[in-house]
Amino acid sequence: MDFMLSPEHQALRRLIRDFAETEVAPVAADLDREHRVPHEIMRKLGQIGLLGVCFPQEYGGMGAGEIGYCILMEELGRVCTSTATNVGAHIGIGAMVIYLDGREEQKQKYLIPLARGEKIAAFGLTEPNAGSDAANVHTRAVREGDSYILDGGKVFITNGGYADVITVMAATDPSLGAHGGITAFIVETDWPGFSVAREEDKMGIHGTSTAELVFEELRVPQENVLGKVGEGFIPFMKSLDMGRLTLGAAGLGGAEAALDWAVRWAKTRKQCGVELAHKQSVQWMIANMATEIEALRSLIYRVGWMVDTGQPFTQLAAMCKLYGSEVASRAIDMALQIHGGLGLSRDFPIERFFRDARIAEIFEGTNEIQRIVIASDIFRQHGVRIRP
Amino acid sequence: MKIAVILGRVLNPAGIVVNRRRGRIFVNREEYVMQPADRCALEAALQIKDGSEAEVIALPRDLLPGDAVGSADVLRRALSMGADRAVNFTGRASDVDDAGMTHVLAAAVERLGGVDLVLTGATTWDTGQSQLGPRLAEVLDWPQVVDAWAVRVIDDRAEVVCQILSSPVRGDRGGGSGYSIFEVDLPAVVTVHPGALKSRYPDGVRLINVYRDDGVVEQWDVAEMVDTGNLVPLLEKRGQDFPPQRERGVQLEGTPQEMAKALAGELKKRIG
């Protein structure tokens, strides 16, 4: 067993950390305060090649694999959850579904500009009645000649307000449900019939666009069907598996940042004549944070390695998302506690991280869904099929 | 146009803790970064390359024994940022200072052949030395300009922008009162100020490919280039000293007059 990152991944981490600390960290609080999407940062990430970090070089990517993508999300998660979320929605789900199930000409047309950051992607799954019940989509796609006409809408779509390309799941035969009745499409947002209805006003991740999208007689050419007609549910779920792993990686970054702040503060803040670091109550919190972070790091990079070596990872990806989001929330909460009242001040980044962390327990499958995925897989191995 | 850039490594300060009271440096994470001034020198070279047909060749600043995470890493980074070639020195000797290194680098410049411009950092982060550039110019018998803020090549000469440092006696606290432009005939050696240029990021695809390619950095045997017996160091390290622990600051409160009075009183007390 070798737990060391390869030299190229170590070099990649140095590059990303340098970028994150130089370009992202100084503006993270402003993005939050001004509810501003980091377009300039996304453009620079694309220029360096980081928006295609995990895709093969023949598709405009960097070829650093899933481990490289985990490094990107961890390092961005350390400084700005909003930026990590923009990147995650673009690479991990929006573009990923084209990479996993797109035909060669679709990869040439869409994946290459997405991997180079020339275009931005979003992932159109969630609807008012299709959240955790993802297969219950009401957006309809009806065949008309050599096209499909899309009618309906999506909600809570990350990057939805500014994406150029959206992968959309729609019902082509509602009577067949998830298996046979749902088709995935690649939609360009400048096509007639596409509109952004509203942007959500959220508790956290203010530097992201979370949009409600409307499709009104939106004509999608046949060649933009992703995968096979009626079999769009599976590629969307496969993309979510990938996204869940790297959401965990972003959580790892947030937890690491929280530990850094907590240690720094505990070294300098004196109460009752001694630094907080000498208080056993604080030591225990630090120890708990560090232990969970170490366990999470091992899980994330092991699963990254499994993806890169072609092993099944659905159950473990759900664990990454579940554990990663909860470790981040706990670590940030403890760091806030160690900072006392100042932890609530907007002069410190902890307050922003505290608000930003909460969403990770909800999006891309709530943590309750992750537990169902994990338990279902375990029971399936023992011959019991769980029905959610 | 051929530009040789000399690049060194230094421990990343983020991975070390200095305990001044105990006079010790604790290395928590042995991670090296390119010397900041050398990074600016590389950027200057790449900017010249951006506007011309220049070839940029990266050379190491140090001879390091047992070099697991040494200059080869810095050279790879230079390649990923846009350098065309990188040469590392093998058969490494320990205890080679800037004086000895000058002879190795002069031999390397000659072996490369046709080098028009040598760029390197004006100073180092760890030892604070500024010797390498001037010493190399002396050995090569080339003109030199030190502490440049910008370098431009026009035909067979380099235009170098340097900051004019004014005398503190004249009351200028800004560290400079303007810039001068020097012209120097090529070939020449130019050292670059550590804050001169914002360094570009490596290209991601190049970075991955460079680190995956074992043979991407050329290896030259020092013994074939110079008589290693002559690389006797002129510098001897006799120990290290640390400045005293910095005292905590005092926050003054009240009106500006009250704070000024309190400050004056505090200064009087300390000066005596």
CB A153 within 8 A of CB A215: yes
Asked if B36 contacts B6 with a C-beta cutoff of 8 angstroms, the reply is no
A364 a catalytic residue: yes
CB pairs under 8 A between A and B: 48
Cβ–Cβ contact B15 with A under 8 A? no
CB A374 within 8 A of CB A322: yes
B221 lies in some domain: yes
Q: What's the ipTM?
A: 0.89
Show residues of chain A in contact with B211, CB under 8 Å: 6-8, 11
**Whole-number pLDDT of residue B177:** 67
Q: For residues A296 and A291, what is the distance between their CA atoms, to the nearest angstrom? A: 9
SS3 state at B260? helix
Neighboring chain A residues of B209 at a CB cutoff of 8 Å? 63
B208 and A8 within 8 Å at the Cβ level: the answer is yes
Cα A97 off chain centre by: 13
Q: Report the chain B residue with the minimal C-alpha distance to residue A7.
A: B211
Min Cα–Cα distance to chain B from A30, Å: 23
Give contacts of B207 with chain A, Cβ < 8 Å. Answer: 8, 11-12, 15, 62
What average pLDDT is seen over chain A? 95
CA A177 → CA A127, A140, A168, A224, distances in Å?
15, 12, 16, 21
Of the partner residues B76, B201, B212, the one whose CB lies closest to the CB of residue A48: B201
Position A288 pLDDT exceeds 90: yes
Hey, is the C-beta of B79 within 8 angstroms of any chain A C-beta?
no
Distance from CA of B251 to the nearest CA of A (A): 16
B166: confidence class by pLDDT, cuts 50, 70, 90 = low
Indicate whether B268 belongs to any domain. no
Structural domain of B106? 2-247
Q: What is the reported pLDDT for B65?
A: 60
Q: How many residues does chain A have?
A: 388
Model pLDDT for residues A24-54, shown as the tens digit of each residue: 999 999 999 999 999 999 999 999 999 999 9
**DSSP states of B107-175 as a string?**
HHHHHH----EEEEESS-SSS----HHHHHHHHHT--EEEEEEEEEEETTEEEEEEEEPPPGGGT--SS
Residues A308-319, buried b or exposed e (16+ Cβ, 10 A)? Answer: beeeebbbbbbb
Mean of pLDDT values over B228-247 = 81
Mean pLDDT of B144-172: 82
Residue A165 has pLDDT above 60, yes or no: yes
Q: Does residue B82 fall inside a structural domain?
A: yes
Check B77 against A11: CB less than 8 A apart. yes
In chain B, residues with a C-beta closer than 8 Å to the C-beta of A15 are 201-202, 204, 207
Please tell me the distance in Å from A62's CA to the nearest CA on chain B.
Answer: 5
**pLDDT exceeds cutoff 60 at B66:** no
pLDDT surpasses 80 at A194: yes
In B, minimum Cα distance to A57 occurs at B205
pLDDT value for A76: 98
Residue B3 has pLDDT above 70, yes or no: yes
Peptide bond preceding B187 in cis form (omega within 30 of 0): yes
Contact across the interface for B208 and A62, Cβ inside 8 Å: yes
Token match 């130019």: residue? Answer: B190
Alpha carbon of A257: minimum distance to chain B alpha carbons (Å): 14
What element of type H or E holds B99? Answer: helix B98-112
How many domains in chain B? Answer: 1
Residue B67 has pLDDT above 80, yes or no: no
Task: Please check whether residue B148 lies inside any domain of the structure.
Answer: yes
Q: How far is A75 from chain B (nearest CA, A)?
A: 15
Which residues lie closer than 8 Å to B194 by C-beta, 6 or more apart?
B36, B37, B40, B121, B122, B123, B125
- Using one digit for the tens of pLDDT, what is the confidence trace for A146-159? 999 999 999 999 99
Picking from A48, A50, A270 by the largest number of B CB atoms within 10 A of its own CB, the best residue to mutate is A48
CA distance B185 to chain A (A): 36
Strand partners, A171: A140, A182
Contact list in A for residue B201 (CB cut-off 8 A) is 15, 18-19, 48
Domains and CATH numbers, chain A: 7-120 (1.10.540.10), 122-230 (2.40.110.10), 234-381 (1.20.140.10)
Euclidean distance between CA atoms B160 and B144, whole angstroms: 10
Quick one: what percent of chain A has pLDDT higher than 90?
A: 90
In chain A, residues with a C-beta closer than 8 Å to the C-beta of B31 are 14
Q: Give the global pTM.
A: 0.90
Measured between beta carbons, the chain A residues lying within 8 angstroms of B86 are none
Q: What is the pLDDT of residues A74-129, one digit of tens each?
A: 999 999 999 999 999 999 999 999 999 999 999 999 999 999 999 999 999 999 88
Confidence of residue A185 (pLDDT cuts 50, 70, 90): very high
Provide the 3-class DSSP secondary structure of residue A267.
helix
Which pLDDT belongs to residue A10?
A: 93
- B211·A62 Cβ contact <8 A: no
The runs of H, that is alpha helices, within chain A are 7-19, 25-34, 39-48, 65-79, 81-87, 96-101, 104-106, 112-115, 233-268, 280-308, 314-339, 349-357, 367-381
Q: What is the pLDDT at residue B68?
A: 45
Question: Picking from A52-61, A158-167, B117-126, B237-246, which range would have the lowest pLDDT averaged per residue?
Answer: B237-246
- Calculate Rg over the CA atoms of chain B: 22
Q: How far apart are CA B220 and CA B214, in angstroms?
A: 15
Indicate if the pLDDT at residue A379 is higher than 90.
Answer: yes
pLDDT band at B237 (very low <50, low <70, confident <90, very high): confident
Confidence band of A388 (pLDDT split at 50, 70, 90): low
User: Which residue in A23, A199, A364, A368 is the catalytic one?
Assistant: A364
Cβ burial A198-222 (10 Å sphere, 16+ → b, else e): ebbeeebbbbbbbbbbbbeebebee
Whether residue B202 is predicted with pLDDT greater than 70 in this model: the reply is yes
A14/chain B closest Cα distance in angstroms: 9
What does A145-202 look like in DSSP terms, one character per residue? TTEEEEEEEEEEEETTTT-SEEEEEEES-GGGTTTTSEEEEEEETTSTTEEEEEE---
> Among B57-66, B78-87, B98-107, B163-172, which is the least confidently predicted range?
B163-172
Mean pLDDT of B248-262: 90
Side-chain half-sphere exposure of B128, counting CA atoms within 13 A: 0
Pick B95 or A279 by higher pLDDT. A279
* Cα distances (angstroms) measured from residue B189 to each of A84, B52, B102, B192: 44, 19, 12, 10
Confidence of residue B176 (pLDDT cuts 50, 70, 90): low
B202 touches chain A (CB under 8 A): yes
Is B188 a domain residue?
yes
Strand partners, A121: A165
How many Å apart are CA B193 and CA B122, to the nearest integer?
A: 5
Separation between Cα atoms, residue B138 and residue B124, nearest integer Å: 19
Residues B202, A15: C-beta atoms closer than 8 Å: yes
The pLDDT tens digits for B182-195 are: 999 999 999 999 99
pLDDT digits (tens, 9 = 90+) for A201-256: 999 999 999 999 999 999 999 999 999 999 999 888 889 998 899 999 999 999 99
The answer, yes or no, to whether residue B130 has pLDDT greater than 90, is no
Yes or no, beta carbons of A11 and B203 under 8 Å apart: no
Mutate to test the interface with A, among B12, B77, B205 (most CBs of A within 10 A): B205
Q: How far is CA B194 from CA A322, B12, B13, B93, B178, in A?
A: 45, 15, 16, 28, 17
Q: Please report, for the domain that includes residue B90, its CATH number.
A: 3.40.50.620
Q: What are phi and psi of B2, to 5 degrees?
A: -125, 125
User: Considering the domain boundaries, does residue B261 fall inside one?
Assistant: no
Q: Which residues neighbour B127 within 8 Å (Cβ) at sequence distance 6 or greater?
A: none
Return residues 125-144 of B near A (CB < 8 Å).
none
Give the separation between CA A131 and CA B212, rounded to whole angstroms: 42
Using an 8 Å CB-CB cutoff, list residues of chain A that contact chain B.
6-8, 11-12, 14-15, 18-19, 48-50, 52-53, 57, 61-64, 68
DSSP secondary structure letter of residue A90 = I
Which residues in chain B touch residue A11, judged by CB atoms under 8 angstroms apart? Answer: 73, 76-77, 80, 202, 207, 211
Per CB-CB distance under 8 Å, the chain B contacts of A19 are 201
pLDDT at A133: 80
Interface test with B, best of A4, A14, A259 (most B CBs within 10 A): A14
Taking CB atoms and an 8 Å limit, are B33 and A14 in contact across chains? yes
Closest Cα in chain B to A56:
B205
User: B80: which chain A residues are within 8 Å (Cβ-Cβ)?
Assistant: 11
* B190 in any annotated domain: yes
- Give the Å distances, CA to CA, from A356 to A70, A151, A335: 19, 33, 14
Whether B254 is in a domain gets the answer: no
B69 touches chain A (CB under 8 A): no
Looking at residue A336, its pLDDT comes to 97
Return d(Cα B120, Cα B58) in angstroms, integer. Answer: 10
Cα(B265)–Cα(B78) distance, rounded to whole angstroms? 54
